[in-house]
Amino acid sequence: MIEFMGFLTSMLFIRSLKSSWLITVLWFVHVSPSLAWDAFPVGESVTLMQSGVDYNVEFRCAKADGSKLRLEILRVYPPTDEIERIESVTLNIYTGTSVDFSQKIEVELSTDRDIKLTGFLNTSADGLESLAAGSKLDILDNATGRIIFSSPMNGTSRGRKLFQERCGI
């Protein structure tokens, strides 16, 4: 009888570990940005996107827009008061531990379908090459200095190639 109780206790312990492990994995998957940026080419346009904890970020180009690269920063969950106060952001692209490219971007609040900020990047050759070769991207709220989005840049080189092929940038 004692052996059976010991077996039962160990089975319950193992079951609780499995549940805890599963909950931890599900939580990690939910709050962590995906490992690579996703690129979605459609006709003569491309969207390069990444999901973060509080914000999702998209870079878009369309051949009809010329050499403009649009930045969209979408708020994932309420509250929205923080995003409503942001007037400009700084985009920092790192190579290793140093900033390789930095640009201040004026943004406007849009509430058409989603609550998001939109602005346009300077599409200089240096900026586009940094977008393709960078190791990390940070977006800072210029008013507070707070980093509102941070992500590794795995997969952005594919987006850079598609920007060139589909949009001529």
Query: Is there a single domain that holds both residue 53 and residue 21?
Result: no
Place of tokens 């690579």: 36
Tens-level pLDDT at each residue, the chain (169 residues):
555 555 545 555 555 545 443 333 333 333 445 579 999 999 999 999 999 989 999 999 999 888 889 999 999 888 888 899 999 999 999 998 999 999 999 999 998 888 899 999 988 888 888 888 899 999 999 999 999 999 999 999 999 999 999 998 8
Residues 144 and 86 in one domain: yes
Provide the residue range defining the domain that includes 7.
1-31
Q: To 5 degrees, how large is the angle CA 149–CA 107–CA 72? A: 55
168 closest CA partner among 135, 128, 131:
128
Same structural domain, 11 and 70: no
Q: What is the pTM of this model?
A: 0.76
Residues 47, 77, single domain; the answer is yes
Q: Are residues 76 and 98 in the same domain?
A: yes
Q: Pick from 68, 80, 83, 70: which is nearest to 141 by CA?
A: 83
Total domains, the chain: 2
Contact 120, 70 (CB under 8 A): yes
CATH number for 80? 2.60.40
Are both 126 and 49 inside the same structural domain?
yes
| Dist. CA 141–CA 149, nearest whole Å | 9
Does 157 lie in the same domain as 125?
A: yes
